Chain A
Amino acid sequence: MPETVQLFITCIVDTFYPEIGQAVVSVLERAGVQVEVPKNQTCCGQPAFNAGMRVQAREMAIQTIQVFEAAPGPVVVPSGSCAAMLRHSYPELFAADETWLPRAKALAERTYELTEYLVDILGVTDLGARFPGPLTYHSSCHLLRELGVDRQPKALLGAVQEAGGSPSENFTLVQNLPLPHADECCGFGGVFSVEHPHISAAMLERKIANIESTGAPTVVVCDAGCLMHISGGLHRRGKKPRVMHIAEILAKR
């Protein structure tokens, strides 16, 4: 009997990138789990939390906690920063609240970022994906530093087969080109990119230069926030590279 996971799709994927949501579902199903998407989920509250508006952040956190309390099993999140919000910031948000702290912690304990869940919990790295390379991988800040997730997405991408060129009997692995300063922030930072657009732009400029230096046509991320930011920057500059969520790569066959 396959395990059932609860997908927290996140507001950005839900609203802007439903195709990433579809890819996430197909990747999870291919990995052998059954996916449920609790109906009443909205936003985890990260924008308000990062803005310092804890009153509003709490309202959204309570909504999220309640929705997932009614949905047993692991909670899988396809964005590093939203997963980190549930795992680390909810306990901070309710630190002085006896009622909600245990409930926040209970959710934190069963929350996983997508690649973390696939590799660490399911023990899967090869999903039989095929994608035309080469690829380069940007380490999203919260994923890398708050969740400590780095080898998992790299292992998953390391098992993707090359789909480019002429079909051949001998599969080759897709080329993963190292992104210089991959762990440097792209300048998104949620409300930061709006409050300090000029600093954000300078950081984005450097990220884009690094991406271009690899020559890879595809940049892979595990956070829809970074995806929205970097792809918005590339589009504004008329640059070629395309930013994709890791699930979109893993779902391709």
Chain B
Amino acid sequence: MPDLFHSRIDLSLADVDLQVALDGNAEKRITGRRQAFASIPDYQERRQRAHTVRADVVANLDRYLEQFVQRVQENGFIVHRAADAAQAVQMILEIIRQNQGKLVAKSKTMVSEEINLNHLLEAAGLRVVETDLGEFIVQIRGEKPSHIITPAVHLRRGQVGQTFHEKLGVPLTDSIPEMTAVARKMLREVFLSADIGLSGVNFGVVETGTVCVMTNEGNGRMVTTVPPVHIALMGIERMVPTLDDLALMMSLLPRSATGQKMTVYASLLHGPRRADERDGPTQRHLVLVDNGRSALRTSPLAEILYCIRCGACLNACPIFREIGGHAYVDGKGAGGTYPGPIGSVLSPALFGQAEFGHLARASSLCGACKEACPVDIDLPKLLLRVRAGGTQIETRHTPAHVPGYLDVGLRLFAWVAKSPWRYHTAQKLVGIFSRVVAPSSSWIKLPGMTGWGYSKDFPRPALRPFHEQWSARDKQASQEPVGVRDLPEVEPDSGSIPSAPKLLTSVAERLARFDVELSALDGKFTCCKQTELAEKIWALLQERKITGIMAWEAGSLPAGLLACLREKGIRIVHDPNPQVEAGLTGALAGVAETATLVLPGGPGRPLTASLLPQVHIAVLKAEDIVPDMLTALKLPEVRQSAATALISGPSRTADIEMTLTLGVHGPREVHVFCLVD
């Protein structure tokens, strides 16, 4: 079987660093996901609801798309619809040219990988910089992402340090915080000087025309806030009908992807900067990419379009754990875009059964992927359909990619098994023949080339198969059925069922929960009275020797706060300023269950105040803490804003060896002062 896929697999299996990296990924991610879901006892029910929501979107794609496009346009996005990859690239190039763009700052988007955007933009003379830490690492190494969520999961810290040393000229280090700091510094320059910010889209909300982008590091917020032009790239199927559905997906996606209750950042985008705003892009474009999706809707593989790209199936998959993302190559040995179980269905579905159909054969069909999928996609069923022909299931012939020996062997086996007489004769013959091969052992040592013999021995078939023994069984001598003692009913395993979540009905309960959740995210929560606020903030700044802050305007903060800080000698600016070390903002609301701050942009409320500085200080009123995400999403101010940031703790990454590091692109510290007057 010396084909390119098998050769690539063998390379992976022999790569010791890769094996260590992949084991670490699987262990941390599987545990993390399980722990995260323990906090929502109705997980299975949510999963079924999510499945239904996604099924509805895919079944009624045209109608939803029409409504979504209309709302997004009303909100102020310029919408472009690309039928295929080439058209999408052309449209993006056109937008960039119209704006005389030279530097494109990019946050993670799998669609851009799918349409090979980076290379084509570079070929057109543009500089394209990936700003997600993992993507940045693979970009400077000249590689493709090996995972849809953690692109550099195939690397160990030493390899990343070596890459940084070679490509960026920094001293060799294996300290993850040091490497992260290097990337932060370099990429900060990119954010500030980029003409174009390019992002993906996690969800498009049909009822509100909201474009939702979720990231942890803060690069998603940067590219959608700082450069003058924002282009969002979205697969046409990534819609949810309502805000309720968005809240549902927000409870599932981060838990499945990284074991977080919520991503650190979610941007809810409705349109470009308004005349009275101090930051935000002046143009927002949405490029909707079909690239084979519409055609898939009526095929046996339609269910794969339900995917929300969390990567949980990759982490759960024992095959991905052995071979890593780069081994999922096409027939010519070139790397594909989507690895793992999802890729083994999606790649043949979108890019061709002939080129990618073999991937689905590298699965033991163990079902760990389906079990991990937050929208309950029946991946084993789809993998089997790909094996049987993919979008066209073969009902007459043997499909492509079935190895010749298997084709012959199974045809013969089926012919034998169709006739009980042939079957029984064959059993008899193998029973006798195997005793010629292995006369003195109950095991047969098959050669490695048989596949089986590579790592295990084969049991010697019985001389008298069961059916023969059964026929000869003396019915008279059969045991009389014995009485079985009555036993209590078996109790279902109750150990793993968590208790129902507390309803956060009172302000005090919500406040306490917010505190607990924020602390778990390494944020700082302080309750105080309004009269103490200025003093406490000043003390915090003093402690960090910070003398200047970028703040929301006085009208959007508690009365007298800025005046008080000014009196104490703090310099205050309102325009985006990358030199300032602390940002001071209010918050429209806080979400207790995830410690999320809800910050709608608007006049006097620059979004960059919570993004550019190292330290973010937010003032939140206790009565503004709402119990759950849905309540926050439905606040009218969110819907009315050009952009709203949802912030849950300090900026973080785990892109190098799954090791949590704070302060990548956004603030390293988040301090919430909660007014309890």
Contacts and interface: CB of A to CB of B under 8 A. Distances in A.
Contacts of B363: 189, 192
Nearest to A34: B481
A178 interface: no
Given A48-B414, A127-B484, A201 B367 contact: no
B490 A200 contact: no
Contact of A198 (B13, B388, B456): B13
Contacts of A142: 365, 367
Contact of B420 (A40, A52, A191, A236): A40
Given A30-B484, A53-B399, A18 B466 contact: yes
A177 B204 CA distance: 48
A interface, size bucket: 35 or more
B399 A194 contact: no
Contact of B410 (A18, A47, A124, A196): A47
Contacts of B6: 196, 198
A151 B490 contact: yes
B395 interface: yes
A15 interface: yes
Given A128-B482, A192-B364, 6 more contacts: A16-B460, A50-B365, A60-B414, A124-B487, A183-B368, A198-B6
Nearest to A158: B490
A155 interface: yes
Interface in B389-433: 389, 393-399, 401-403, 406-407, 410-411, 413-414, 416-418, 420, 423, 427, 430-431
Given A39-B467, A51-B410, A146-B367, A204 B456 contact: yes
Interface string A190-230: 11111111111111110000000000000000000000110
Contacts of B389: 52
A38 B451 CA distance: 33
B457 interface: yes
Contact of A197 (B368, B451, B468): B451
A53 B410 contact: yes
A151 B490 CA distance: 9
A174 to B, nearest CB: 16
Interface residues of B, number: 85
A191 B482 CA distance: 40
A244 interface: no
A240 interface: no
B194 to A, nearest CB: 42
A128 B454 CA distance: 41
Given A195-B403, A231-B459, A55 B396 contact: yes
A134 to B, nearest CB: 20
Contacts of B397: 55
Nearest to A145: B367
Given A196-B9, A236-B456, A22 B406 contact: no
A15 B318 contact: no
Contacts of B367: 141-142, 144-146
B420 to A, nearest CB: 4
A159 interface: yes
Interface in A129-182: 141-142, 144-146, 151-152, 154-155, 159
A44 B413 CA distance: 12
A192 B361 contact: yes
A43 B427 CA distance: 12
B234 to A, nearest CB: 32
Interface in A24-67: 25-26, 29-34, 37, 39-43, 45, 47-57, 59-60, 63
A141 B365 contact: yes
A185 B318 contact: yes
A77 interface: no
Contacts of B555: none
Contacts of B485: 126, 128
A215 B575 CA distance: 66
Nearest to A32: B481
B406 A159 contact: no
A111 interface: no
B15 interface: no
Interface string B465-506: 111111100000011011111010110110000000000000
Q: What are the 7 tightest A-B residue pairs by CB atom distance, in nearest-first order? A: A189-B364, A52-B387, A232-B456, A201-B455, A21-B466, A145-B367, A194-B451
A180 to B, nearest CB: 11
B554 interface: no
A29 B1 CA distance: 47
Contacts of A128: 482, 484-485
B458 A232 contact: yes
A235 B466 contact: no
A73 interface: no
Nearest to B403: A195
B490 to A, nearest CB: 4
B393 A54 contact: yes
Contact of B479 (A29, A119, A125, A184): A29
B563 interface: no
Interface of B: 1, 6, 9-10, 13, 318-319, 322-323, 361-368, 370-371, 380-381, 384, 386-389, 393-399, 401-403, 406-407, 410-411, 413-414, 416-418, 420, 423, 427, 430-431, 443, 445, 448, 450-452, 454-462, 464-471, 478-479, 481-485, 487, 489-490, 492-493
A154 B496 CA distance: 15
B322 A203 contact: yes
Given A194-B406, A228-B459, A119 B490 contact: yes
A72 interface: no
Interface of A: 2, 9, 11, 13-18, 21-22, 25-26, 29-34, 37, 39-43, 45, 47-57, 59-60, 63, 89, 92, 119, 123-128, 141-142, 144-146, 151-152, 154-155, 159, 183-185, 187-205, 228-229, 231-233, 235-236
B469 A21 contact: yes
A145 B366 contact: yes
Given A14-B465, A235-B457, A43 B417 contact: yes
A200 B466 contact: no
A51 B402 contact: yes
B401 A52 contact: yes
Nearest to B465: A14
Contacts of A127: 484
B427 A15 contact: yes
Given A9-B467, A30-B481, A204-B455, A185 B406 contact: no
A142 B380 CA distance: 10
Contacts of A183: 368
Nearest to A253: B482
Given A14-B466, A49-B384, A200 B364 contact: yes
Contacts of A11: 417
A141 B455 contact: no
Contacts of B459: 16-17, 228, 231-232
A192 B9 contact: no
Nearest to B421: A40
A2 B487 CA distance: 19
Nearest to A141: B366
Nearest to B27: A181
B370 to A, nearest CB: 7
B361 A199 contact: no
B354 to A, nearest CB: 14
A50 B490 contact: no
A199 B323 contact: yes
Nearest to A207: B318
B324 to A, nearest CB: 11
Contacts of A203: 318-319, 322, 364
Nearest to A122: B484
Contacts of B411: 53, 56
A42 to B, nearest CB: 4
A231 B365 CA distance: 20
B322 A202 contact: yes
Contacts of B371: 145
22 contacts: A14-B465, A17-B466, A32-B481, A33-B481, A40-B420, A42-B418, A45-B414, A48-B410, A52-B389, A60-B417, A119-B490, A125-B490, A142-B365, A145-B371, A185-B368, A192-B361, A193-B451, A200-B455, A232-B443, A232-B458, A235-B457, A236-B457
